Amino acid sequence: MTTTTPEGGLTVTGSAVEGADEVLTAEALAFVERLEREFGPRRRELMERRIEVQRSISVGNPVAFPEETRTIREGDWKVGPVPKDLEDRRVEITGPVERKMMINALNSGARIFMADFEDALSPTWSNLLQGQANLTDAVERKIWLSTAEKTYRLSEKTATLVVRPRGWHLEEKHVRLDGRPVSAALFDFGLAFFRNAKRLLDRGTGPYFYLPKLEGRLEARLWNDVFVFAQEQLGLPHGTIKATVLIETILGALEMEEILYELREHVVALNAGRWDYLFSAIKKFRDRPGFLLPDRAQLTMTVPFMRAYTERMVHVCHKRGAHAIGGMAAFIPSRKDVEINERAFRKVTEDKERESEDGFDGTWVAHPDLVPVAQVVFDRKLGGRPHQKNRLREDVEVTPLELTDFRVPGGRLTEAGLRNDVSVGLQYVESWLRGSGAVGIFDLMEDTATAEIARSQVWQWIHSPLGKLEDGRKVTVELFRKTADEEEAKLRTQLGDEAWGRGKWAAARRLFDRLATADEYVDFLTIPAYEELE
C-alpha cells in the first residue's frame, strides 16, 4: 500500500493490513503530518543533544542535579488536578495492544491498563495498525475475540485505559514526511489521540498516556508542547491530556522534579521502570573506569542505588502532588505447578509490601492472576483511601552520588548469570523478530527492556577489564560465543528441529552477537532490529 496526504508531503508505505483504511484516514494522517512538521526538528535536535551528553559522561564529567533548575527544585508548586478515574491506581496491569491480551487486561480487576505500543509490542506494520484499531474498539466497548476454545468479551467493569507510545529515539519507517521517517512517538500518539480523545471524553474518561525513556526536562517540555498543540488542534481544553512519566533512565532520575514541572498541567504520576533503568545505567556509564554491574539476578530493588532511586521518586512525587507508581512484577503464575505459583506469589507479595511501605501509591503487574496478589497488599496499606500522597517522605534526601554509586554489596559475575543473559536475550529477540513483544521466558513475562539489559551486560563484561566470572575466567568474545552455542543447542533440543526451523533463530543470533561484541556500544537494540521487521 502507498498513501499520500492531500498536501503531498506525507507518504505511507507498507504491506496491506486489514482495516488500515479505517485507521489511516486522510484526516488522521494530516494530523500526524502537522505534529511532525511542528515538532520533528526539535525531536531530532534533542536526540543530537543525547549524543553530546553521552560524550560528556564518557570523558568523566560529573552528573548532578542541574544548577540552572535549582529554583524549580526549591520552588513551591504542584502538578495539576488528577481526574477521578486516575485517583486510585493501586494496581496497574500492562500489555501489548494485541486483542486477546487487551481484553484480559481490561477485565483483570486492575485499576489501570497500560496499552503498550512500546516495549511489549514488536512494531511490525500490522501490529501497529491493528493495535490502533483495537484501541478504538476497546474505547467503544466493541472489542471481542472468538477462538476455538473461548469467546473473549469485555466485562461490565473494566480498567481505565492508558496508552504508551514509542519513545523519542525511534522513527516510523513506513511513514515519511518530505522523504524523512516521522517520529514513532508522534505517529503512535497522533493516531491514538486523534481517533480516540473525543470518544474517551464522551465516555467520562480522557486521553491518558504513559511517556517512556525521557532523559530530562527538555524532552518532557517537548511532550508538553505536543499536548498543548494537539489539544488546540482538536479544540479541547488545556490540560485535558493526562500523562504518567516512566522514570527509566538515570538522567531522568536526576531531573524528576524538572520533568514534573515541565508537564505540570498534564502530568499526574511518575513510574519506576526497573529494567530500563538498569539498562540506562550501563549505557550511560559504560566508559567509566571501575564501573561494572553484577549478575542481573542480584540487581534487586533493595541494592543501594535502586533504593535511592525509588525513595527519591516517592518523595518528589508526593511533594508535588503526583502519584508514585511502583515497578513491574513480571512473574507468570502457573495454573499447573503449585510450587511455581507459591514462589511467584511470595516474591510478588514481598516486593509490593516494600513498595507500599515506602509510600508508593500503586504498582505494576504483568499477568491478570497477579492483580489480586498485589491488590491485597495495597488494600491493606491504603484501606479506603485512593493513595497515600500525604506521606511526604521528608526523611528522604538523595544525592546525585547516591543515584550513581553503582556498587552492589556482594555482587558477583557468574557463569549462570552469563548463561541467563544469553538465553533470555536470544529467546526474546527471536520472538520480537517474529512479531511478538511480550514473551514468557523462565516463568517471567519479558519485554524489550529485559533483552536490552541482557545484551548490555554481556557487552560490558566483554569490554571491561573487570568482566571476570567468580571462577576467574575473563568474559571474552570467545566465551560468549561458546556459551551462546550451548544455549542455542539446549533451546533447539527443547523445541525440536521442526519448530526451530520455523523460527528466526539465525537472525536473532546474528543480531545479539553483533550488539554484544561490537567495539562501539549500540544505544538501542530495537533500532537495528527494527530494520528486519516488515
Give the separation between CA 492 and CA 502, rounded to whole angstroms.
11
The H or E element that residue 268 is part of is: strand 267-272
Among candidate residues 101, 120, 102, 50, the one with its CA nearest the CA of residue 451: 120
Give the type of residue at 285: F
Contact status, residue 279 vs residue 456, Cβ threshold 8 Å: yes
Helix residue ranges, H only, 107-216: 125-139, 184-202
Angle subtended by helix axes 338-358 and 371-382, to nearest 10: 30
The H or E element that residue 220 is part of is: helix 217-234
Give the separation between CA 449 and CA 506, rounded to whole angstroms.
21
Active site residue 164: yes
Catalytic site residue from 34, 295, 447, 455: 447
DSSP 3-state assignment of 474? strand
Catalytic site residue from 34, 50, 89, 164: 164
Q: Largest Cα–Cα distance in the chain?
A: 65
Contact status, residue 291 vs residue 406, Cβ threshold 8 Å: yes
In this structure, what DSSP letter does residue 239 have? Answer: T
Among candidate residues 4, 32, 12, the one with its CA nearest the CA of residue 189: 32
Which residues make Cβ contacts (< 8 Å) with residue 328, sequence separation at least 6? 94, 273, 274, 275, 364, 365, 366
The CA distances from residue 265 to 180, 186, 244, 253, in Å, are 32, 20, 12, 20
- Return the number of other C-beta atoms located less than 10 Å from residue 374's C-beta: 26
Angle subtended by helix axes 184-202 and 26-58, to nearest 10: 130
Active site residue 447: yes
Catalytic positions, written as ranges:
164, 447
